[in-house]
Structure 1
Amino acid sequence: MAEDWAADVRKYSTNADPNAIAGIIRYCGISLQKRDSALVALSDKAEVARVRENFLKKKLGLTNSDADLDKAIIAVGDKMKGDRTKNRVTLYYLLAENFGKLTALSGSSQAAAKI
């Protein structure tokens, strides 16, 4: 699946940090190769729980209540409601941006050169 993740992120965050995008791509890894796992179904409660537990809590280290984290996920989903499909990289970027955690995702600048 060839996708321009940075272009999709920039639809919502015009000055998106390429290092943070590259960090999310590294974090998602092989799951981005299949369309189904590269997209997020926010209507699926289990999917929302996975985003909350695996990305927000484990990756970003957030300790907010589940209700607050779920509210943020839904708010970002509402921001993206113009897109029928929600790209995982874009959703994760917007969530990290919302919580001020983009620097936690930034890795080497070499990875950013690839996007």
Structure 2
Amino acid sequence: MAQDWAVDVLKYNPNADRKAIGGIVHHCGIALRSRDASLVAFTDPDELKRVRDSFLKKKLGLTVPDSELDMAVASVGERMRADHTKNRVTVYYLLAEHFGKLAEFV
């Protein structure tokens, strides 16, 4: 699945860091080859828990309470509400940006 992931991220932040986007794409790796895995299902509690635990806690190393992480994920979901497809790269970018962790991907 060849796709310019930056196009979607730029809808939410026209000044997005392209190197950080590239780093997030690299982090997601093979998951982006599958349409289903390249999207975040905000209606699936297990998916949201996976985003919180695998991305926010494990990858970004965040140690704040789960409730704060869950609120950030919900906030990104609300921000992207108009999009029927919520690209994983965009979701991860917005979360990393929210927590000031974009440098992890540059």
- Residue 63 (structure 1) aligns with: 63
Secondary structure of 1:38's counterpart equals coil
- Residue 17 (structure 1) aligns with: 17
- Residue 95 (structure 1) aligns with: 95
Unaligned runs of 5+ in 2: none
Secondary structure of 2:82's counterpart equals coil
In structure 2, give the amino acid aligned to 1:96.
A
Deviations 1:29-85 (A, max 9, x none): 000001000000011000000000110001111001111101100100100011011
Identity over the aligned pairs, expressed in percent? 59
Please say if 1:76 is aligned against 2:76: yes
Runs of 4+ in 1 over 3 A off after TM superposition: none
* Cα separation, 1, equivalents of 2:37 and 2:100: 25
* Cα separation, 2, equivalents of 1:5 and 1:48: 21
TM-score, normalising length from structure 1? Answer: 0.90
Unaligned runs of 5+ in 1: 107-115
Post-superposition offset of 1:104: 1.1
- Residue 31 (structure 2) aligns with: 31
CA RMSD of aligned residues (A): 0.6
Post-superposition offset of 1:105: 1.3
Q: Which has the higher contact order (CA 8 A, sep 6+)?
A: 1
- Residue 111 (structure 1) aligns with: none
* Cα separation, 2, equivalents of 1:42 and 1:26: 22
List aligned pairs for 1:104-115, cutoff 5 A: 104-106=104-106
